[in-house]
Amino acid sequence: MKLPIADARATWGYTRGLLRSNRRELSLIAGLHVLSAVAGLVGPWLLGRLVDDVRHGTTAAHVRDLVLVAAVAILVRAVVQKVAQQRSMVFGETVFASMREEFLDTVTELPLSTVERAGTGDLVARTTNDVSKIQNAVRFGVPQLTVAIVTIVLTVVATLVLAPLVAVAMFVGLPLLLSVVRWYLRRAPEAYQAESATYATLNGTITESVEGVRTVDALSLGGRRDGRSDGDLGAAYRAEMRTLGLRTVLFPGVDLTFVVAPVAVLVWGAFLASQGTATMGAVTAVVMYTFQLTGPVWNLVYWLDEISVAAVSLARIIGVRLVEPDRTASGAVPASGEIAARGVRYAYREGHDVLHGVDLDLRPGERLAIVGPSGAGKSTLGRMLAGIHPPTGGSVTVGGVPLVDLPLDDLRHRVALVTQEHHVFYGTVAENLRLADVDAPDERLREALAAVDALTWVDALDDGLATEVGSGGTTLTPAQAQQIALARLVLLDPDVLVLDEATSLLDPRAARHLERSLAAVLAGRTVVAIAHRLHTAHDADRVAVVEDGRITELGPHDELVAAGGSYAALWHSWQHE
Ligand code: ADP
C-alpha cells in the first residue's frame, strides 16, 4: 500500500488556494513586471522611428532626443526590474517556507499505522526528492513564469499595434512551437510521475538495506540486496532516459522556431517595404521585438516543463494530506481512568488476525506483566492498550470511552507506550527530555533521570544535561538511549504506562534495579510491562500469559505457579537457565 497521490483537480485547487491567499502581493509583483516589460518595449520602437526618420532626413538634436528617451527607458527598466525580481524572490521563498512547514505538520501527524503500512521509503522520498523538486518551481518558477507571460503578451500586443501587417510573419513558427510543446506536455506528467515512483522504490530498498544491515550481513543477503538495488537503479535509469528522450524533442523544436520567426519577419517585411506597404522602421522594430520574444518564450517553455515536473511532486506532497485520520476525537469525556479491553482483535493484514478477542481490565495502580512466546501478540496487545492503532474488532476504552476517540494530547497523558525502539534526537540531553514536557525545569529533568538510574552517567558527561547527543554529538549506548526514553515517559507522567521490553537492552541486574526505582517513582500509576525476563513478572501484581493471540492465564505470580500451567512451566525453565 502506497501513500495516496492527489489528482489533478486537488493539486490545481491547492495551487489556486495558494495564489488566492497571496493575491495582493502577486498583483503587485505582476504590476511591477508589466511596468518593466513596457519600458523594455520602448527601445525597438524608438529604433524603428530612428530608421524612418534618418531615411527621411532629420536633425542631430532629434536623434539625440530619441537616444535620451531610450536611455531613460533602459534606466527605468533596470530599476523596476530589480525591485520586481527582489519582491518575486522574497515571495517565492515565503510561499515555499510556509508550504514546507505545513507539510512537516502533516507528516508528523500522520497516523502511525498508515506510515507503517506504506513503508517509510515513500514518505522519505516525498519529504526529500519531491520537496526539492518543487523548491525551484515555487522559488523561481512562479515569478519567472509571471515575467515571461507578461512580457510575451505585451510584446505581441505592441507589434500588432505598431505594424499588424508585418507582425503576421512573426507567427509562422507558432504551429511548430505549439505542436512540439503540446506533444511534450502530453507525455511529460506520466513520464515524470513514473520517474518519481522509481526513486521512491529505490529509496525504500536502500533504506531497508541500511536499516537491516546486520540482518543482511548475518544471512549473507548482500548479493541479493545489491541485485535488488541494481534492479531499482535500472528502472530509475530507464525512467530518466524516457524523460530525457522527451526533452531532446522539445528543445530543438523550440530552438527552430526562434530561427524561423525572425527570418520570416525579415523576408516578409522586405517584401512589404518594397511594395511600399510598410516602412523600414516598422520592419526593424518588429524584427527586434521578435528577437526580444526569444528569452521570454524560452523561459515560458522551460518553466512549463519544470512546473509540470513540480506538479507531479506537488501531487505526491499534497497526497500525504489525503491520508484519512485513523481516529476522530468524539469529544466524549472518560468517566474514570480505568482501561478495559473487550474482545480485542487486530489484523495487520486483512483476514490474518493476530489477536483473537482479548478481554482485560487494568486495575488502577496495578503492575501487570505480560509474558508469552515470541510472536504471540504481546506487542500488538501493548499497542492496542496504548491506543496506537484502533483495534480491528472489539474495543479498548478508558472510563467507557474508546481510546481512539480521545484527542491525541489527552490520550498521551492517560496512556503512553515505550518500546525497544527509541530515538535520541540531535540536541542536548535536556532537549531530548523536554520533548515530553517543554517547560520542565532542570530539577525535574534530574529527578526523572534519577528514577531511571541515569543521573550518574548523565552527570559524568562533559556538560551534564547540556551535552549534545544524537547524530554528530556524543553517542549514547542503546541502553542509555533506552533510559532517556524511559525518563521522557516519567516526565510525561501518564496515568497508564505500557513498557514493551523497555529495559531489554540493559543487563539483567541493571534492568531489575531500574524497574524497582522506576516503580517507586511511578507508585500509584498503572504499569503494563511486556517482559521477556521473568523477574519482571515475579515482581508484578498480576501476570497475563499471551499465547497465540489470546490471554490464556491471568493472575498473581504465586497463583499461576501453583496452578502448574504454561506460566509455571515457563517460570521453572527460566529459573534453571
Ligand atoms: P510478540 O510481541 O508476542 O512477539 P507481536 O505482537 O510482535 O508478538 O506479533 C504478533 C504477530 O503479528 C506475529 O505473527 C507478527 O509476525 C505479526 N506482526 C507484528 N507486527 C507486524 C506488522 N507490522 N505487520 C505485519 N505483521 C506483524
Question: Tell me: the pLDDT tens digits for 20-35?
Answer: 998 998 889 889 988 9
> For residue 361, which of 326, 336, 380 has the smallest C-alpha distance?
336
Given a cut of 80, is residue 133 above it in pLDDT? Answer: yes
Q: What tens digit of pLDDT does each residue of 194-252 get?
A: 888 898 889 889 988 998 899 999 999 899 999 999 999 999 999 999 999 999 999 89
The pLDDT value given to residue 313: 87
* Confidence (pTM): 0.68
Q: What tens digit of pLDDT does each residue of 459-476 get?
A: 998 888 889 888 778 888
Q: What number of CA atoms fall less than 13 Å from residue 414's CA on the CB side? A: 27
Average pLDDT over residues 264-287: 92
Q: Dihedral of the CA atoms 209, 215, 219, 222 (nearest 10)?
A: 20
Could you tell me the three cell numbers for 502?
523497555
The C-alpha atoms of residue 192 and residue 246 are separated, in whole angstroms, by: 10
Given a cut of 90, is residue 136 above it in pLDDT? Answer: no
Mean pLDDT (the chain) is 88
Residue having the nearest C-alpha atom to atom 10 of ligand 1: 377
% of the chain beyond a pLDDT of 70:
100
The C-alpha atoms of residue 203 and residue 14 are separated, in whole angstroms, by: 27
Give residues (CB < 6 A) around ligand 1: 116, 348, 354, 372, 374-380
Residue 479 pLDDT level (bands cut at 50, 70, 90): confident
The pLDDT value given to residue 146: 83
Could you tell me the three cell numbers for 389?
492503532
Residue having the nearest C-alpha atom to atom 22 of ligand 1: 348
DSSP letter for each residue of 295-330? HHHHHHHHHHHHHHHHHHHHHHHHHHHTSPPS----
Residue having the nearest C-alpha atom to atom 14 of ligand 1: 375
Given a cut of 70, is residue 38 above it in pLDDT? Answer: yes
Mutate to test the pocket of ligand 1, among 112, 115, 348, 551 (most ligand atoms within 8 A of CB): 348
Q: What tens digit of pLDDT does each residue of 293-303 get?
A: 988 998 888 88
Given a cut of 70, is residue 577 above it in pLDDT? Answer: no
